Chains A and B, each alone.
Chain A
């Protein structure tokens, strides 16, 4: 980070980056653990906001500026809001729910620990001695990322726009009610967020 900081005077010194990484990383891990373990479903969504925001800061530390802001916009801004809408649409209990976890907790814990051991071992084995070369490092500003996106990744980008359209149409089709179904009036419900009104009307 020294050389790039000499060219682009950054906000944080190299040591500052390391310290921030450790602090934000611990906060992210704690928030993720709370998301998984808390018995209050709405709190899980709110802890998920903390975890995703911490990850956005980690992206900033990795000089991926564009990705960090997209993370804030898409995940913190819209995905969590959609999840909260889903919790409310499915009438999730607001307080502590005693049956939030399934019974096979020990098996799941064993599988998770095995996966963690395997992943960490692979990372230790592969990247113990690797160091990032900071000469001419790629800065992920929106300018650079947009240039790379529209120079090398145009076809996947366009395919993604078609995918988004398909997802939109699919959500509309899924959340519509059939006209002939008993007890269900036809409501032109759109996305899951829109189907809230359709649910209340019927």
Chain B
């Protein structure tokens, strides 16, 4: 079994997520693209875990998922509070450091 195929998939998913972060304008869709990138990294971690025959990569992927869940909760709270003061969820409108 060649691990490179899984790594190609991971690299392409990461690129798609990066393109989405650069292109999209809605902050929540940008969030979805960040999740896509995190998942691509997780796939690479699990592939390396399989490659080296130990479970450390899988444990790190698990940690990444937990951190991603915490990040989504805090990030959505920030986006909702920005939406309350600006009435817009577009990343182009959030261009000031002060609300």
Contacts and interface: CB of A to CB of B under 8 A. Distances in A.
A29 B32 contact: no
Name the prevailing secondary structure of the B interface residues: helix
A32 B36 contact: yes
A140 B65 contact: no
Contact of B22 (A85, A90, A104): A104
Range for the number of chain A residues in contact with chain B: 35 or more
B73 interface: yes
Given A36-B23, A116-B15, A137-B50, A148 B59 contact: yes
A97 B25 CA distance: 11
Interface residues of B, number: 70
Contact of A163 (B58, B70, B92): B70
Nearest to A134: B1
A94 interface: no
A79 B9 contact: no
B6 A58 contact: yes
Nearest to A112: B19
Interface in B11-27: 11-20, 22-27
A70 B54 contact: no
Nearest to A159: B63
Interface in A18-34: 21, 25, 28-29, 32-33
Of A66, A160, A192, which is in contact with the most chain B CB atoms at under 10 Å from its CB? A192
Contacts of A70: 62, 65
Given A170-B74, A174-B78, A83 B55 contact: no
6 contacts: A14-B1, A21-B5, A71-B65, A116-B12, A140-B55, A175-B81
Interface of A: 1, 14, 17, 21, 25, 28-29, 32-33, 35-36, 41, 44-45, 48, 51-52, 55, 58-59, 62-64, 66-67, 70-71, 74-75, 78-79, 82-83, 85-87, 89-92, 97, 99-102, 104-105, 107-109, 111-113, 115-116, 119-120, 123-124, 127-128, 130-134, 136-138, 140, 144-145, 148-149, 152-153, 156, 160, 163-164, 166-168, 170-171, 174-175, 191-192, 195, 199
Interface of B: 1-9, 11-20, 22-29, 31-33, 35-36, 39, 42-43, 46-47, 49-51, 53-56, 58-59, 61-63, 65-74, 76-81, 83-84, 89-90, 92
